[in-house]
Structure formats: structure tokens, C-alpha cells
Amino acid sequence: MSEMAILMAAGLGTRMRPLTMTRPKPLIEVHGCPMIETVIDGLKERGVELIYVVVGYLGEKFLYLEHKYKNLHVVYNHDYQSVNNISSIHTVADKLIDTKYDVFICEADLYLRDKALFLCELTNSCYFGKMVYGYSDDWVFDTNELGRIIRVGKVGEDRFNMVGVSWFRSSDARILGQIVKDAYNQGSYKDLFWDDVVNKNLDKLNLVVHEISCNQISELDTVEELAAIDDSYKI
């Protein structure tokens, strides 16, 4: 089955200011490469055929990607300032509803350390997750005895934590597009993360956790976290 990817790159990146005052967070360089390009390169190495980059804040800064990468398209999320990240998935909901592809959905502000992250065999719709022992106030997954995800939400103990990458079989991607579109039409969507919609519809989506190691990918939220990986940002 062919694959496409959706990269969410619309956010303001406020926790990484002042670096993001003039540059969107996914374009911040780590060891000389914009974070988003580490993700794109990994997807391309896998053979992903089509990539949509959903942008908002300083969206024009991403346009060079259309020239650098074949079959990559920049799509504007016009609601990014007033609606949570459900708006980015809503921007491409029709593409999901009509898709013939299996679909990766990735945060764009990730630093991919290991391209092998994307070279795994996937057979079931899944969130990529890293095991965190002890308490976590991050997004986590509860699973049943069969490994199926039964909750996607914040706070947990000894749980797989979200890393910003998920993969949906085409049949589940079509369902996802429709439930996001339906949520958007119900009026109380502005504060929703798209993962909240997934959580409310786990009876319709057969999702498991695909385990990764903690050193394969990093989500960098602050300048301090960035400096811990790239010495050039140390003061």
C-alpha cells in the first residue's frame, strides 16, 4: 500500500522564543538541519509518496520545501491562531476522507535522530510511543490486555508516552478525517487537540502502540532543550 504523510507545522512555538520570533519552530536548525527536514528525509527514505505540510504562523517560510522535495505541498491552516491543533487536521480532512493511502501524521517540530524510526513494518494503525516508567504528565496511552489503545490522554504512570508520530491504515484515516470534520461542525471544538477526537472515537478506530526507543526522536520545546542537543545554542 502506498503512503502519504501530514506534517503539522502551524503553531506559534512560543516556548522557544526568541528563536521563533522570526522563524517558525519546525525550521529551527539542529546540527545545521531544520527539524522538519529531519522528519521529511526519514519519510522520504521510507518511500512515502505524498507529503502535506500544514502551516500557519510564518507559513510563507515553508514554501521552499515545495521546491526541495518532490510531491510535497504546503497547505495553509487559516484557523491556527484561534483554534487548537484540531484545525490542522481539519484543514486536510477531505484529503483523509478521500485517501487511498495509508497515512503518517507527524508533528513537524521533531528532531529525528534515527531514520530507522520510519523503516519499520506497520500492519495496524498506531501511535508511536516510548515507555516512561513512573509518573508522566505528558500525553500517554492506556492499553488493554490485547494491546489495543483504550485511552489517549494526559497523565499516567508506567505508560507509553506520545512522541508526535502516528500511522493510520487508509480505512482508519478515512474515519479520522470524518470524525474530525464532524467535531468541527459541532461548535465546541476550539480548544480540542486532534488526539482528543481520537480518544472519543476509539470504538471506531483500532489503534495500538508501536514502541520506539527514547533516543530515536526528540520533541524540543524550549531553547534549553535545544541547547542540550546542539551546543551551538548554549549561552
Domains and CATH numbers, the chain: 3-123+164-191+216-233 (3.90.550.10)
Beta strand pairing status for 50-55 and 110-112?
Answer: unpaired
Write a three-state SS string for 71-97: CEEEEECCCCCCCCCHHHHHHCHHHHH
Distance (Å) of CA 27 to CA 13, 127, 137 = 11, 24, 27
Quickly list H helices, 162-234. Answer: 170-184, 194-200, 223-229
Would you write out the chain's pLDDT as a tens digit for each of its 235 residues?
A: 699 999 999 988 888 888 888 999 999 999 999 999 999 999 999 999 999 999 999 999 999 999 999 999 999 999 988 888 899 999 999 999 999 999 999 999 999 988 889 999 999 999 999 999 999 989 999 999 999 999 999 999 999 999 999 999 999 999 999 999 998 888 777 878 899 999 999 999 999 999 998 788 988 888 888 888 888 887 7
* Contact by Cβ (8 Å): 42, 112: yes
Amino acid at 226: L
Spatial CA neighbour of 74 closest among 99, 92, 98: 92
* Contact by Cβ (8 Å): 229, 235: no
Prediction pTM value: 0.94
What's the CA gap between 159 and 134, in Å, rounded?
8
What's the CA gap between 62 and 41, in Å, rounded?
15
Radius of gyration of the chain (CA): 17
What's the CA gap between 200 and 188, in Å, rounded?
14
